[in-house]
């Protein structure tokens, strides 16, 4: 694809990440290269409402515009507000961006961006979305890392991103970080025993055993999950005393991100929290059962190990502890 010939360098750039939390974290790999290529440009993000606190942690981002796409209807959950999303689209249009880069570009997302009249709209081909993009790249390869596939989105801008990785900026946590530091031990492991579907989860009893093992090595445990997941954990299984992320700080996603940035280790299923931890450079053990490890393995600057199985069957506390020991974290515990 030929390089776009701008009359003047873009002054206002919009990253569009109207997908889930993990997908938003992957988008952070784009901003360092954009800042280097266009040092005077403002970089903003358009994302879902619940992911906005993490979008604010992406390096070089100035403004976060947040609203849930009204077409993203989930079973048993009230549909998002159409009015709120249209209000966010009007804000995007009023900001008069020169360029939009769509990290994920299903046709509805591409169409929404097209209505904002951004003159240059770059995204990967997907579900006939070329009608709404000005520059359409070949579809993503599901067997290649997300950060390298997203780096292709910058090629029409003449940007070749070498060894991209995602990253979040600890300095952007502000006052949330010292508040969380006061509530957590100096050294702890974050455990995320949950996934979007229960048939992908290692049984909670195995996670409980991991917690006991970590504590025997001098690592306290921070349990990560939604309030309902953590209530289930507290009520259903005998497990060692520890900390619960819904009781840290104000219980918000910002507080969760601050807590994850402090962890000595993160162990959990393929999920948004895993990618937040990895984006802070925290050592990560990722459980993919099955998941898409070729595509969505931890892609931050820190060390990581992936446990990949067709199902959670056979993944035990011993399986996970062996991989934790491979990271060599206990020698200084």
Q: Domain limits of the chain?
A: 12-166, 171-332
Report pTM: 0.96
The reported pLDDT for the residue numbered 333 is 39
Pick the CATH number of 171-332 from 1.10.10.10, 1.10.3470.10, 3.40.50.2000, 1.10.240.10: 3.40.50.2000
Q: At what angle do helices 204-216 and 227-236 cross, to 10 degrees?
A: 80
Instruction: Let me know if the fold of 12-166 is the same as that of 171-332.
Output: yes
Other C-beta atoms closer than 10 Å to the C-beta of 86 total 14
The reported pLDDT for the residue numbered 75 is 67
Say which CATH architecture domain 12-166 belongs to: 3-Layer(aba) Sandwich (3.40)
CA-CA distance, 130 to 11, in Å (whole number)?
25
In the chain, which stretches have pLDDT less than 70?
A: 75-76, 237, 239-240, 331-333
The reported pLDDT for the residue numbered 317 is 97
Which conformational region is residue 46 in: left (phi greater than 0), alpha (psi within -120 to 50 degrees), or beta?
beta
- Of 149, 116, 150, residue with least CA distance to 133: 116
Q: Which residues contact 242 (CB under 8 A, 6 or more apart)?
A: 211, 220, 221, 222, 223
Check: CB of residue 115 under 8 Å from CB of residue 86: no
The reported pLDDT for the residue numbered 237 is 67
């Amino acid at each position: 694809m030929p390089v776009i010939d701008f009359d003047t360098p873009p002054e206002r750039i919009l990253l569009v990440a109207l997908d889930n939390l993990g997908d938003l974290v992957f988008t952070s790999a784009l901003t360092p290269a954009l800042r280097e290529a266009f040092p005077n440009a403002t970089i903003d993000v358009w994302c879902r409402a619940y992911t906005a606190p993490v979008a604010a942690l992406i390096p070089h981002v100035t403004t976060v515009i947040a609203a849930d796409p009204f077409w993203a209807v989930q079973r048993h959950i009230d549909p998002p507000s159409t009015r709120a999303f249209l209000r966010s689209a009007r804000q995007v249009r009023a900001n008069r961006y020169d360029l939009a880069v769509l990290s994920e570009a299903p046709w509805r997302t591409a169409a929404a961006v097209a209505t904002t009249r951004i003159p240059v709209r770059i995204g990967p081909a997907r579900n006939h979305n070329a009608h709404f993009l000005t520059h359409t790249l070949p579809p993503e390869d599901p067997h290649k890392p997300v950060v390298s596939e997203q780096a292709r989105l910058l090629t029409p801008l003449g940007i070749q991103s070498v060894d991209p990785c995602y990253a979040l900026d600890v300095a952007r946590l502000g006052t949330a970080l010292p508040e969380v530091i006061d509530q957590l031990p100096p050294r702890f492991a974050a455990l995320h025993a949950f996934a979007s579907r229960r048939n992908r989860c290692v049984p909670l009893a195995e996670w409980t055993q991991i917690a006991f093992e970590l504590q025997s090595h001098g690592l306290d445990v921070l349990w990560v999950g939604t309030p309902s997941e953590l209530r289930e954990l507290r009520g259903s299984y005998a497990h060692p005393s520890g900390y619960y992320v819904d009781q840290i700080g104000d219980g918000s996603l910002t507080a969760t991100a601050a807590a994850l940035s402090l962890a000595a280790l993160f162990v959990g299923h393929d999920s948004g929290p895993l990618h937040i931890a990895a984006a802070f450079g925290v050592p990560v053990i990722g459980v993919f059962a099955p998941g898409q490890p070729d595509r969505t393995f931890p892609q931050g600057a820190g060390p990581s190990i992936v446990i990949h199985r067709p199902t959670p069957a056979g993944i035990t506390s011993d399986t996970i502890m062996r991989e934790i020991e491979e990271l060599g974290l206990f020698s200084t515990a």
